[in-house]
Chain A
């Protein structure tokens, strides 16, 4: 995930050593300053000054997030990505809560901490094996692991309960020096020292090297695979420690306790100054990042920010914190401002190209190119599409397998027209999202604002339409225009401010959630018009109208991505931002276009979902974020951008939908389903990798 930094770094020679050193720690320093400022705000506005006890509570409140963020940072420094972090916290929590002896109030702290860390490292080793040695993409492996772990967690403990010895709580929430140093702070300090040591070992050097450029690291003689493996094991250990801490803090088990922390973990890492994509930043910043996110809770409380506005305020704080970290002479924002200033000066002086005139001065290439292309033989079909097919086929192969299993297990599938119709209707939402999210991923970005773009647009549409077909005439364009606006905000935030796509889209998502709540007053009124309902649920010649639409949509998407100049620019940017820039691609404009496309796709899904359900509801888009990423990657796209074909993603969509349909028709418990789901996704990508080996 490269940050589309569209600026040229200053020549290093012009800087002095001190500047350079400062720049290296800018992310960390900003995180510390922002944290200190927020703490001061809380202290100033609070009823009384912060006492030692308050500090102690604050320190324990953010510790779990901080520990998990440290693990995630190490993964991200190595150029990886770990979606299983939250699930590991839950797993360790339930393992401890179910295996500890409820009568033993003096359970050994060392033993149980080791158990927790061990469980985390075991999961890390599983991740590391598939990522380092089987060479699968981290995002798919850890996504599969996340589902499998969630299933196992529910098998171990199906509802909150269990027992964690108070001795753990007494230790981890206690004091190192009573009245002076709370234990969580001491623990994080120890983690910091451990990191300082780790960084100076051979492993530490290898970690940064692999994250900066794996090829160069391999060429320099580093064992890239073992480094990667170790990274996930170490990270797993930190999640494990986080799980121990949350167990100590809560004194019991809850199978869902860690899962919702996932996005916060990423936010903490980014706020802490670590760049997604690897090679720069460090866990110490992430610790402060975690505390910044947690102290926001206190800020919202002392300022009495109304509930509906809290996600908006959080989004703004996230943006401002990261923006503060990126302000410097060399930052993208500074470049944009300087550029605008220069353009303004040129306009006043009358020296802008458009003011000078002179018309189109591009070289006339057409005459030169034509005769050549006529004489050149077309390459064979396989050599043109071979690679695409190799990456797209496994999803389809797995799809066929799932359908056969459905036929054998449930019957009534292959020859049942309703089955095929249902699969396409249910796939339509993800298939549309796949175009938007897929295009974003092709440029090396990620759009996390999908859930509430869906929710907000659906609620807006239902609110305007109020069951009237006539209202669709203006409601549809208005909603789509709003989506264009959302995309513009995302795109401009990323291009102009030079911020990581994850931060910008996460903040946008929070603001849209607030907007949806304010617009609907907490309970969305209005419902879809009869025409929209007909479109999603009626049958024309035995087929739901949306199926016809999907055929057109797929044709459009394929042509759009592979035959238009916009599509080619997208691939160009994904393969190398700098190269694309030097090749004359308008990188900024294309990136903005990509995020607009993604927002419009999400809005379309919001509209169709409203038609499908008959009304819009808050949170209707929540279940579509991770699947929208999963289908893109299962369909053969590379999460770092540049590779992937829409037909492959479509295969991923159909595979996951068929698999869910199969599982829904059974009476298997949810835990087992989650495990099967994870295993199938992992299996599909292993097949993907096998294909690559054949070439």
Chain B
């Protein structure tokens, strides 16, 4: 009786708040399913949305669907809210929480508390330094070092370069930039002529490069090292009247637009137009792969099922150069396993979309998972 009145009260309160719209999701929860939450950070950029799609697709895969009950929540850019959110998830009886941590350190206490209550915490892409958390990410220092070494080699050890960093104050940015700077420092003839904050955004790259080019010319710049923005940099060189053959080497991110530009000029690509076309651009393309969230969910389920999962999973760094670039036809997992790593503009309209979605470890999720949250069959 008490239970019934409570449910009625609940329904009334919920209806009052949201006009009754949100009631559907919470009714059906089978007992035997694992209750897993995803705590995302900020949802307002391509990478986050893509990673969330891949987590959802993983949960919807036929091998997972009857085991996992996944709920997705957004914490925004605010670590305080993520702390509150993780606490609330623990309180709601989570078995595991997959989290994109806003801060590697600020969550430590709440994560420890969750662990103490037997909740598994899996962090993807960025790390959580609390010992009981499971981390899945690439080696950020390796990413900075390898790409910088590629650029130095491309320039034969001398030239003027422009550096575009990520979001200042984050571990990922600091580690990547520091490793790259170390490489540049070892090569005294590499001259950094300008350094700007790119915020991991193509749009910011455009404004920052425009500011740099207000006082410098493309002719004075021999190479680019940027965490995100090679696609935009190449587009800007074309606008400035350069031919595809004159594009300068750029070490940068794994956006699909940049990958398409790496294809040799004349490659037939459906839907190519403007700068989103094969240019034979000299590039190395690396990425923090968005499948890490999906993998985190898979590992969490494995751990819940009693398998052994290491505390740290370092993902292989996806690297693509002009020698290894290859266009996908449909983007199935099998096709990507055979080596394709770029998608035609006809199916990926957004050049900022991240193309590094293949992992040996996740045959459940392929191209459709990243694009629309649909798992492989």
Interface, chain A (partner B; CB < 8 A): 37, 40-41, 44-48, 54, 57-58, 61-62, 64-65, 153-154, 158-162, 169, 173, 246, 249-257, 260-261, 264, 294, 297-311, 313, 316-317, 320, 406, 410-413, 416, 418-419, 422-423, 425-426, 455, 466-467, 513, 517, 521-527, 530, 533, 537-538, 609, 612-615, 617-620, 622-623, 660-661, 664-668, 670-671
Complex-state Cα separation, A618 to B203, whole angstroms: 10
- On whether the beta carbons of B174 and A419 are closer than 8 Å, the reply is no
Please, which residues of chain A bring their CB within 8 A of the CB of B87?
A: 57-58, 61
For B84, what are the chain A residues with a Cβ–Cβ distance below 8 Å? Answer: 58, 61-62, 294, 297-298
Assess the B201–A301 pair: CB atoms within 8 A. Answer: no
Cα–Cα, bound, A464→B118 (Å): 49
With known contacts A257-B103, A306-B72, A617–B88 Cβ distance under 8 A: no
| Interface set, chain B 208-261, CB cutoff 8 A to A | 208, 210-217, 232, 235-236, 239
Judging by beta carbons under 8 Å apart, are A538 and B105 in contact?
Answer: no
Q: How far is the CA of A523 from the CA of B193 in the complex (A)?
A: 34
Query: What are 7 A-B interface contacts by the 8 Å CB criterion?
Result: A41-B13, A254-B103, A256-B103, A297-B73, A309-B22, A410-B216, A618-B43
B238 (CB) vs chain A CBs: closest residue: A537
Residue in A160, A173, A257, A455 whose beta carbon sits within 8 Å of that of B171 in the complex: A160
Q: Which of A154, A246, A302, A455 contacts B80 (CB 8 A)?
A: A246
B192 within 8 A of A: yes
Q: Is the beta-carbon distance between B214 and A661 smaller than 8 angstroms?
A: yes
Contact A670 B197 (CB under 8 A): yes
With A522-B52, A617-B46 in contact, do A317 and B17 touch (Cβ < 8 Å)? yes
Is A525 touching B206 in the complex (CB atoms < 8 A)? no
Q: From A256, A309, A313, A527, give the contact of B351 (CB < 8 A).
A: A527
**Which residue on chain B has the smallest CB distance to residue A463?**
B349
Q: Mark B18-30, 1 if CB is under 8 A from A, else 0.
A: 1000110110000
Contact A307 B26, beta carbon cutoff 8 Å: no
Q: In this complex, what residue of B is CB-closest to A37?
A: B13
Q: Which A residues are CB-close (under 8 A) to B79?
A: 250, 254, 256-257, 260
Q: Let me know if B214 and A423 touch, CB within 8 A.
A: yes
Indicate whether A264 sits within 8 Å of B78 (C-beta atoms), given known contacts A305-B22, A612-B206.
Answer: yes
Nearest Cβ on chain A to B163's Cβ, whole angstroms: 8
Contact of A617 among B53, B165, B215, B352 (CB under 8 A): B352
A517 touches B88 (CB 8 A): no
B214 and A419 form a contact (CB under 8 A): yes
Q: Which residues of B contact A619 (CB under 8 A)?
A: 42, 44-45, 201
Considering only CB atoms and an 8 Å cut-off, how many residues of chain B contact the other chain?
97
Bound complex: CA A367 to CA B231 (Å): 66
B53:A522 contact, CB within 8 angstroms:
yes
Chain B: minimal CB distance from A53 (Å): 9
What distance in Å separates the Cβ of B270 from its nearest Cβ neighbour in chain A?
14
Q: Which 9 A-B pairs have the closest CB atoms?
A: A522-B49, A422-B214, A252-B105, A664-B211, A525-B349, A619-B44, A159-B174, A61-B84, A304-B25
Nearest residue (CB) in B for A618 is B44
Q: In the assembled complex, which residues on chain B have CB atoms less than 8 Å from the CB atom of A302?
A: 26, 88, 92
Cβ distance B366 to chain A, nearest Cβ, rounded Å: 16
Q: Is the CB of A160 within 8 A of B103?
A: yes
**Any chain A CB within 8 A of the CB of B138?**
no
On whether the beta carbons of A249 and B170 are closer than 8 Å, the reply is: no
Most chain-A Cβ atoms within 10 A of its Cβ — which of B13, B84, B175, B372? B84
Contacts of B73 in A (CB 8 A): 297, 300-301, 307, 310
* Contact between A297 and B203, CB atoms less than 8 A apart: no
Measured CA separation A526–B196 after assembly (Å)? 28
Could you tell me if A613 and B194 are in contact, using CB atoms closer than 8 angstroms? no
In the bound complex, residues from chain A placing their C-beta under 8 Å from that of B81 are 294, 297
Q: Is the CB of B78 within 8 A of A44?
A: no
Q: Which residues of A contact B106 (CB under 8 A)?
A: 160, 246, 249-250, 252, 254, 257
B376 part of interface (Cβ distance < 8 Å) = no
**Cβ–Cβ < 8 Å partners of B17 in chain A:** 41, 299, 303, 317, 320
Contacting pair A304 B22 (CB below 8 A): yes
- Are A665 and B206 in contact (CB-based, < 8 A)? no
